[in-house]
Chain A
Amino acid sequence: DVKVTQSSRYLVKRTGEKVFLECVQDMDHENMFWYRQDPGLGLRLIYFSYDVKMKEKGDIPEGYSVSREKKERFSLILESASTNQTSMYLCASRDGQGANEQFFGPGTRLTVL
Chain B
Amino acid sequence: GESVGLHLPTLSVQEGDNSIINCAYSNSASDYFIWYKQESGKGPQFIIDIRSNMDKRQGQRVTVLLNKTVKHLSLQIAATQPGDSAVYFCAETSFQKLVFGTGTRLLVSP
Contacts and interface: CB of A to CB of B under 8 A. Distances in A.
A105 B43 contact: yes
B100 to A, nearest CB: 4
Contacts, number: 42
A92 B103 CA distance: 18
Contact of B46 (A4, A42, A103): A103
A41 B93 CA distance: 18
A84 interface: no
B46 A101 contact: yes
B76 interface: no
Interface string B54-78: 0000000000000000000000000
Interface residues of A, number: 19
A113 interface: no
B49 A90 contact: no
Contacts of B41: 106-107
Residue of A40, A43, A44, A92 most packed against chain B (CB within 10 A): A43
A48 B43 contact: no
A100 B93 contact: yes
A104 B34 contact: no
A58 interface: yes
B44 A42 contact: no
Interface of A: 4, 40-45, 48, 58, 90, 92, 100-107
Interface of B: 32, 34, 36, 41-46, 49, 89, 93, 97-98, 100-103
5 smallest A-B Cβ distances: which pairs? A104-B43, A42-B102, A43-B100, A42-B100, A104-B44
